[in-house]
Structure 1
Amino acid sequence: MRRWIDIPPVWLAVFLALAWLQADRLPLGGAGWPVWDLLGGLCVGGGGLLMALAVLELRRARTTVIPHRDAEALVTTGIFRRTRNPIYLGDALILAGMVCYWAAWPSLLLVPLFVWLITDRFILDEESRLEARFGRAFETYATRTPRWLSWRRRAGMNEGKGGRG
Structure 2
Amino acid sequence: MVERSDRTVDNAGVKLPPPLIWLILQLAGLSIDSAWFKLQLASTAEMITGGLIVCLGFSFAVAAIPRHKKGGSNIEPWKPTTTVFTDGIYSRSRNPIYLAMLIGFAGIAIAAGSTVSLLFLVAFWAALRFYVIALEERYLEAKFGAQYRDYRDTVRRWV
Q: For residue 86 of structure 2, what is the aligned residue in structure 1?
A: 76
Q: Secondary structure at the match of 1:129?
A: helix
Query: Aligned partners of 2:127, 2:86: CA distance in 1, in Å?
Result: 24
Query: Aligned partners of 1:55, 1:27: CA distance in 2, in Å?
Result: 32
Instruction: Point out the more displaced range, 42-51 or 80-89.
Output: 42-51
Q: 2:143 aligns with which of 133, 143, 156?
A: 133
- 1:146 paired to 2:135: no
Shift of 1:23: 2.5
RMSD: 2.4
Shift of 1:25: 8.3
- Structure 2: 5+ residue stretches without partners: 1-12
Aligned residue identity for 1:99: A
Q: 1:101 aligns with which of 93, 111, 130?
A: 111
* TM-aligned CA distance change 1:106 to 1:137, over 3 Å: same
TM-score (norm 1): 0.79
By relative contact order (CA 8 Å, sep 6+), the higher-ranking structure is 2
Aligned residue identity for 1:18: A
Q: How is 1:7-18 mapped onto 2 (pairs within 5 angstroms)?
A: 7-18=17-28
Aligned residue identity for 1:84: R
Query: Aligned partners of 2:45, 2:86: CA distance in 1, in Å?
Result: 35
- Structure 1: 5+ residue stretches without partners: 150-165
TM-score (norm 2): 0.82
Aligned residue identity for 1:95: F
Query: Aligned partners of 1:92, 1:25: CA distance in 2, in Å?
Result: 21
Shift of 1:141: 0.9
Q: 2:69 aligns with which of 55, 59, 77?
A: 59
Aligned residue identity for 2:143: R
Contact 1:43 1:93 in 2 (8 A): yes
Contact 1:15 1:95 in 2 (8 A): no
Contact 2:35 2:42 in 1 (8 A): no
Shift of 1:34: 2.2
* TM-aligned CA distance change 1:27 to 1:85, over 3 Å: same
